[in-house]
């Protein structure tokens, strides 16, 4: 029988031990109530995921500002009054003796029009994506200080609720990623310019979060290897940020890539132009970049994207190419197979690719399919693999519109009741 590295424990720098090397990476749930609080659906989802046996579950985007949602249905950690609901979510998420961490985020200019028609961003650079986003407002110094407090407040709530760690989201084109990119950060103050200045907000937030949660509570970071955009955040700059992170007290680094304008983190496959030839021969999308990170930084490394076979996961772990294997979509399409996968009884997980045949709709179809499945799971339903790709491509837009209209109706009804 082959040695199973994926089932080995991992001790993090803060002293916390993960029971194995498999991570359910973040996927946006979109199932909060109208007060941006978690629901029983979160408990249903996370208890099922906890029962898969994965050593670490990372939540989907938890926002620090309800005016800057990544998607309708986001939970926002900004009110101590929701603590009882957060406690129930945390308990469900660590039901099987695993870790459950909160991914903390701010959408910045990737806040759609249904949520905010004038979102905040490092600079007033508009996101061009099928007309769903407005031109943002450049942040003031006061705005930036408020953001720092927001991340720390969310981390404190996560700890008080019983979640076992936090992940600071600085990838995929959200606010902290926007500060890192020269395309979206055109500031001339100490928050912009060279990579040290563009990384200043991320480092400041890490330090303040660590001050709040203490030395023994896991703090991690999700970072782009690249934006995959001309003139954007590059691999060389990412490695400079990695060196900066090495001087901070973080416990785990997750590598990803892309933004809403180039969703490499979601659409990479064997045919992707972003995948190098050497990588195409293997499963993991960011494995080449991982080697560069490993050569300069001892922080435990998590890579998400592409992993599907038991043997390959063990291979990269045994080779020391990374420390943790992250999966997202298999926790939807193969949720019932994960326990068998960890035991080596299921050698390979599905790699479902959703395609409409219309280039402009492919990313929407992929995102919509998996978003709908998560909502089904939260209601105790099973996977619907036959959902139409074309229907999937419109799901998120209609979901955002429906939630926005419901919110507006509730507000109007409340005003009418006060007359």
Residues 6+ apart with CB under 8 A from 227: 173, 177, 181, 183, 233, 234, 257, 258, 259, 262
Each residue of 34-85: pLDDT tens digit?
999 999 999 999 999 999 999 999 999 999 999 999 999 999 999 999 999 9
**Domain-located, residue 395:** no
Predicted TM-score of the model (pTM)? 0.93
**Domain-located, residue 144:** yes
Each residue of 305-363: pLDDT tens digit?
889 999 999 999 999 999 999 999 999 999 999 999 999 999 999 878 888 888 878 88
**Domain-located, residue 300:** yes
Tell me the CATH number at 336. 3.20.20.70
pLDDT beyond 90 at 416: no
Each residue of 281-309: pLDDT tens digit?
456 789 999 999 999 999 999 999 889 99
Segments forming the whole domain that contains residue 234: 5-353
**Domain-located, residue 358:** no
Domain count, the chain: 1
Half-sphere exposure of residue 17: CA atoms within 13 angstroms, side-chain side: 5
pLDDT of residue 268: 44
**Domain-located, residue 180:** yes
Average pLDDT across the chain, whole number: 91
pLDDT of residue 229: 83
**Domain-located, residue 390:** no
The band of 130, judged by pLDDT with boundaries at 50, 70 and 90, is low
**Domain-located, residue 369:** no
pLDDT of residue 270: 41
**Domain-located, residue 359:** no
């Amino acid at each position: 029988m082959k040695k199973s590295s994926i089932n080995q424990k991992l001790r993090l720098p803060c002293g916390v031990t993960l029971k194995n090397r498999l991570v359910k990476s973040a996927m946006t749930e979109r199932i909060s109530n109208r007060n941006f609080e978690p629901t029983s659906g979160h408990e249903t989802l996370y208890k099922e995921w906890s029962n898969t046996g994965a050593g670490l579950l990372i939540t989907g985007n938890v926002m620090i500002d309800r005016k800057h949602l990544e998607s309708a249905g986001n939970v926002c950690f900004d009110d101590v009054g929701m603590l009882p609901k957060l406690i129930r979510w945390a308990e469900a998420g660590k039901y099987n003796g695993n870790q459950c961490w909160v991914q903390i985020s701010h959408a910045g200019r990737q806040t759609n029009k249904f949520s905010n028609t004038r979102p905040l961003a490092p600079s007033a650079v508009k996101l061009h994506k099928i007309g769903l986003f407005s031109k943002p407002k450049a942040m003031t110094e006061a705005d930036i200080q408020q953001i720092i407090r927001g991340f720390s407040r969310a981390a404190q709530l996560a700890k008080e609720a019983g979640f076992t760690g936090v992940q600071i989201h600085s990838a995929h084109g959200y606010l902290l990623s926007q500060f890192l990119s020269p395309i979206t950060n055109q500031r001339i103050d100490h928050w912009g310019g060279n990579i040290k200045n563009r990384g200043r907000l991320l480092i400041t937030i890490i330090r303040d979060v660590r001050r709040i949660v203490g030395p023994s509570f896991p703090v991690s970071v999700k970072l782009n290897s690249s934006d995959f955009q001309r003139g954007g955040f590059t691999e060389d700059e990412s490695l400079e940020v990695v060196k900066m992170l090495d001087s901070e007290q973080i416990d785990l680094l997750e590598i990803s890539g892309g933004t809403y304008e180039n969703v490499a983190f979601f659409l990479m496959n064997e045919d992707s132009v972003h995948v190098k030839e050497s990588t195409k021969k293997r499963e993991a999308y960011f494995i080449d970049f991982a080697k560069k990170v490993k050569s300069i930084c001892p922080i435990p490394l998590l890579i998400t994207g592409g992993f599907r076979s038991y043997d390959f996961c063990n291979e990269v772990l045994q080779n020391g190419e990374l420390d943790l294997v992250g999966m997202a979509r298999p926790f939807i399409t193969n949720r019932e197979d994960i326990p068998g996968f960890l035991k080596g009884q299921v050698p390979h997980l599905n790699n479902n690719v959703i395609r409409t045949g219309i280039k402009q709709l492919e990313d929407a179809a992929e995102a919509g399919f998996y978003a709908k499945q998560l909502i089904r799971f939260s209601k105790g339903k099973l996977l619907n693999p036959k959902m139409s790709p074309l229907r999937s491509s419109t799901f998120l837009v209609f979901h955002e519109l429906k939630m926005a209209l419901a919110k507006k109706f509730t507000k109007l009804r409340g005003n009418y009741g006060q007359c």
